[in-house]
Amino acid sequence: MTNAAKGDAVMEALRLFFVGFLATFVLTGIALAVPERLLKDASVTGEGLRIVRDRYEIAIYYDRSDWVASGELPYSEASRQEYPPLGALYIALPRFFSDDFAAFEAISLARSAVFFGLLFAATGVLLRRFGRPRKLLLFYFMPAFLYFSLWRYDTFPALFVTLAVLAVDAELYGAAIIALWAGIAAKVYPVFFLLPLGMRLGRDLGSMKVRASVAKGLVIVLAVSVAFLLAAKALGLSPLAMVLGTHAARPFEVGSVRELVLRWLWALGMHPEVAKGLIAVSFGLLQFGAFLPLVNFVKVRNSRSFVRACLYLLIPFTAFGWFFSQQWIIWIAPLLILVAAPKELLMLAVLDLLLFLQFPILYDIDRHAPAFDAVTIARTFVLCWLWRANAKALSRERT
């Protein structure tokens, strides 16, 4: 790439950043001016719906950042923490500026606007590299993607994943390793993309340049990781056990397809523990079973098949887990729009609308109503459809 072309790419990324940032920054101002609960008569509890504003998760972030105000260290018994180190630092960042909850919320939203803009810009650069139209960035302004980008912190780790894809496309594999490591340190789920990255690397490791890049990336990752873990041990902190243990101990949660099937089996009279065991085994296979066919039957030849391979593992994990987070759209959409056929894009739009319908709307109206369960079924169907379409496209790319 010539210097002029590099300069054009940088200017394009800056323009996209300011478009994404300014749009969401204006929306954050609107959100702060709107009451958290609207349409109180629509809710069975009378609390109303969080259609625009959701302070619940912000309150959790505020609580988990108490270590800043108290002077305690995270991952200690006095300051338990379920977020990985970079994620914990990210959500606590506003607390360094103010201990006031309203200020914490405002700074959190401003920060969300910044990282929305960064993700928006990085994805725009990737769309051009993949030969895709930039109008696909409009998916970022669909209801669920935009809502959870503001009120959750997933754009932060998702940005690292997008940067990893950009590095893979540029054959900067050491940078890809570092980007995925940073994503894992922000929110564990990018760990699933290490296997596709390894499969992609397997094709190019004969090159001395590639081996040197990989070695540099691994040395940096290992050195920082070991230093952090040794420091944590010396200070009596338990980051790995606390983070992984918290998530492993989570029960089947409302909104997951596992919890829905569990209720059905209980209604049929199956013993509660037998039902839980049956679901844990069967849905565990569905959730993690894609790893074996990916390794045995798929070739990750290029950056497009790398993205497809990441989706091959990610979609079933989201669909069949013991919990379901509507913000999964922030993990799926940035990858899928890079490679999706028109029908996949249509189903992605349907998925976004279903997720926003389920939370916050139906959840706040009555999460125990049949309509809420119906959307769980519909959402799972759409995810299965997307996985099948992605798998078929991936199989075509290996021929």
The answer to whether the predicted template modeling score (pTM) of the entire model surpasses 0.85 is: yes
pLDDT at res. 50: 96
Q: Is the pLDDT of residue 207 over 90?
A: no
Whether 190 is covered by a domain: the verdict is yes
pLDDT in tens, 24-63: 999 999 999 999 999 999 999 999 999 999 999 999 999 9
Name the residue with higher pLDDT: 227 or 77: 227
Whether 279 is covered by a domain: the verdict is no
Whether 23 is covered by a domain: the verdict is yes
Mean pLDDT, the chain, integer: 94
Whether 161 is covered by a domain: the verdict is yes
pLDDT at res. 203: 78
Per-residue DSSP letter, 38: B
The stretches of the chain forming alpha helices (DSSP H) are 3-33, 55-64, 66-70, 85-92, 101-129, 143-151, 155-169, 173-186, 194-201, 208-234, 239-248, 257-267, 272-288, 291-297, 303-319, 329-339, 342-356, 363-366, 370-397
Whether 258 is covered by a domain: the verdict is no
Helix axes 342-356, 370-397, angle to 10 degrees: 160
Domain count, the chain: 1
Whether 278 is covered by a domain: the verdict is no
pLDDT in tens, 152-184: 999 999 999 999 999 999 999 999 999 999 999
Whether 341 is covered by a domain: the verdict is yes
Which residues, in sequence order, are CB contacts of 329 under 8 Å at separation 6+?
144, 145, 148, 351, 352, 355
Question: Taking the chain, what is the end-to-end CA distance rounded to the nearest angstrom?
Answer: 30
Whether 255 is covered by a domain: the verdict is no
Please give the residue range of the domain that contains residue 179: 3-249+289-397
pLDDT at res. 399: 46
